[in-house]
Amino acid sequence: MKPLLEIEGLSVEVEGRQVIRDLSLVVPEGETYVIFGPNGSGKTSLLMSIMGIPPYKVVKGKILFEGKDLSDFPTDERARMGIALAFQYPPEVKGVKLKDLLKICVGKKPEEELSEDVLKLAERLRLLDLLDREVHVGFSGGERKRAEVLMVLSMKPKLLLLDEPDSGVDVESLRLIGKEIQSYLKSTGSSSIIVTHQGQVLEHIQAQKACVIFGGTVYCYREPKRIFETISEVGYKACIECMGRNL
Amino acid sequence: MSKNPLYDIPHQILQAAFKVGVESDESKRSATYFQIDHSKVLAAVNEYYKGKVEVLSMIDALKKHDWLKGYLWRLIPPDKDEYTRRVEEAFGGGYFIRIMPGARVDLPLQTCLMIAKEGFEQAIHNIIIAEENSDAHIITGCTLHPHIHSGLHIGVSEFFIKKGAKLSFTMIHSWNVGTVVKPRSAILIEEGGVFISNYICLNPVKEVQAYPVAYITGRHGIAVFNNVLYATKSSLMDIGSKVELNAPEARGESVSRVVAAGGSRIVSRGMMKADSSPVKAHLECRGLILDDSSVIHAIPELVGMKRDVDLSHEAAVGKIADHEIAYLMTRGLSREEAISTIVRGFLNVELLGLPQELTTEINALIAMLAKGM
């Protein structure tokens, strides 16, 4: 498979503190990668760096998307190139309705209506009642996750970045978002990187590969369920010691 | 059907009036008062609302009602400051609005006060009486002829909210960098009376300074002040309100959302003074500073003079959060578009409960201004 995303020897700092250390990763077209790692290991930092969020500063290495070096592109251009990120902790956007932000996601003007497809997706994600509410204001954990998935899937990305879609979410919401994400990836052949701490999302989404991040760098690529089982049995520390660095 | 009298007003003036909420469609307003400089242009009540509301120029009203003199300067002493003195000396009209007892006026009343002569000093006095158990909404727009560069607008307004009456008063100001504006307002609220003020000023001004005072003298009286300010081009906006809670079960609320940019200064004041109990009041000020040349100064004051009072305030002033900008950029907005979307959302007037069309108009105005940042 042709590579969609290539990360080569990447080091990233936030306010002088190193969060990613000499990390390399290749995600081919049409494949889903799962990234495991304990809290603070650099999982979110990796997604933020791919998206080009300002405090994450690339100090070494590069990120190529469809062969183009992303370092020259600000976040909004990366979004238009086909990269979408669903946040683990999205901010509240006061005074802006979810439906209006959705229109922005799909490139519609405020006075235009949302398409039938997007409304149907909102209905399947049980979000129709929230479209007139301010973005994430007063949303429950499950509503936030579903709203994030609604927005990023509406953008029809080539690369879908999901930051802990299974944390702080009820079983029903996880089932709903898992089903929609899996169906999107399968029908479009898009790629995805899913960051997870607990791994429940794997019950709903088929991933081709998984790796473990620790201390800002990648340890070990394996089949996702095998890694998950190992982590569940022996924990991250033992997992890393056992497998060693295996790229 | 008779010709709409608003259409006798010159086109340019009417266009300016539309921008401060004036509506030319008579089916959408119950009554209209229009004054240019010191001349009444129109004081009219729609047929259906005759007997429910009375709208006159103050000059005509003082001739018609002897008792009205008893209301003049009752809440604001004429020697309060140099501006009230000027209104007393150079009285140039204004409006008299009376909502009749028990009248439920479902369509807003509207007034427009405009300056159309260069450097004109507009000194007016308004009296608004909401009689017992009445319910109405007034929209008032104050602005200038588009060709005028400077002026002074002084408006003394005295409101009387009688027993069980409810009055919403939405004031939209649109001035320019050469205009000085000094409204002087006071409100008397009797038992069970409700007064809601919405003040919106989104265009630059040389200086606007207002500090309306609500005196709640009757049990269960309520005073609410909402301010939405967007200061640009070195504007000075010194806007606040004071609520005196002088009766048991009185409630006060003041919420200001302000944005300062382009070397502007906003002073956002608020005072809740409780001399009765139990009473409850809350002050809130949220401010966004868009550049280092602008200042927001929030001055919340709480004065409790009885034991059983519940007074609180909350103020937050700062820049737009970077993570909010970044979040919107991940949805495809440029940095500038993300900032203007956040500012628009911040000032969104939908929560004020204004008529839907006015809400849409004001939000469109905010959108236009936010785009120009």
The structural domains of chain A, with segments of one domain joined by +, span 3-89+158-243
Domain that holds residue B316: 5-321
ipTM for this model: 0.95
pLDDT higher for A96 or B365?
A96
On whether both B314 and B344 belong to a single domain, the answer is: no
Return the DSSP state at A208.
S
* Nearest chain B residue (CA) to A103: B331
On whether both B291 and B352 belong to a single domain, the answer is: no
Cβ within 8 Å, pair B330-A107: no
On whether both B213 and B342 belong to a single domain, the answer is: no
On whether both B309 and B356 belong to a single domain, the answer is: no
On whether both B182 and B77 belong to a single domain, the answer is: yes
Return the DSSP state at B292.
T
The partner residue sitting opposite A76, judged by closest CB among B332, B345, B346, is: B332
- Tell me the pLDDT of chain B (373 aa) as tens digits: 456 778 888 888 888 888 888 888 878 899 999 999 999 999 999 999 999 999 999 999 999 999 999 999 999 999 999 999 999 999 999 999 999 999 999 999 999 999 999 999 999 999 999 999 999 999 999 999 999 999 999 999 999 999 999 999 999 999 999 999 999 999 999 999 999 999 999 999 999 999 999 999 999 999 999 999 999 999 999 999 999 999 999 999 999 999 999 999 999 999 999 999 999 999 999 999 999 999 999 999 999 999 999 999 999 999 999 999 999 999 999 999 999 999 989 998 887 777 777 788 777 777 776 665 4
On whether both B157 and B175 belong to a single domain, the answer is: yes
| Interface residue ranges in chain B relative to chain A, Cβ cutoff 8 Å | 321-324, 326-335, 337-338, 341-342, 344-348, 350, 367
* Residues ≥6 apart with Cβ < 8 Å to B198: B168, B169, B170, B171, B226, B228, B349, B352, B354
CATH for A3-89+158-243? Answer: 3.40.50.300
User: Which residues of chain A lie closer than 8 angstroms to B356, CB-CB?
Assistant: none
Q: How far A31 CA lies from chain B's nearest CA (Å)?
A: 22
**Domain end (from B304, B321, B338):** B321
Cβ within 8 Å, pair A79-B342: no
* Nearest chain A residue (CA) to B322: A54
Do the beta carbons of residue B245 and residue B215 sit within 8 Å? Answer: no
The partner residue sitting opposite A93, judged by closest CB among B330, B342, B367, is: B342
Q: How far A102 CA lies from chain B's nearest CA (Å)?
A: 9
What is the pLDDT at residue B185? 98
Share of chain A above pLDDT 70, in %: 98
The partner residue sitting opposite B331, judged by closest CB among A74, A79, A110, is: A79
Do the beta carbons of residue A197 and residue A38 sit within 8 Å? Answer: yes
Q: The whole model's pTM is what?
A: 0.88
**Domain end (from B321, B340, B359):** B321
On whether both B260 and B335 belong to a single domain, the answer is: no
On whether both B206 and B334 belong to a single domain, the answer is: no
Sign of the Cα torsion A142, A145, A150, A156 reads negative
On whether both B222 and B370 belong to a single domain, the answer is: no
Total number of domains constituting chain B: 2
On whether both B327 and B293 belong to a single domain, the answer is: no
Q: Token pair for residue B27?
A: 């089916």
A96 touches chain B (CB under 8 A): yes
Find the angle CA(B284)-CA(B287)-CA(B292) to the nearest 5 degrees. 155
On whether both B335 and B287 belong to a single domain, the answer is: no
* Nearest chain A residue (CA) to B326: A53
On whether both B253 and B114 belong to a single domain, the answer is: yes
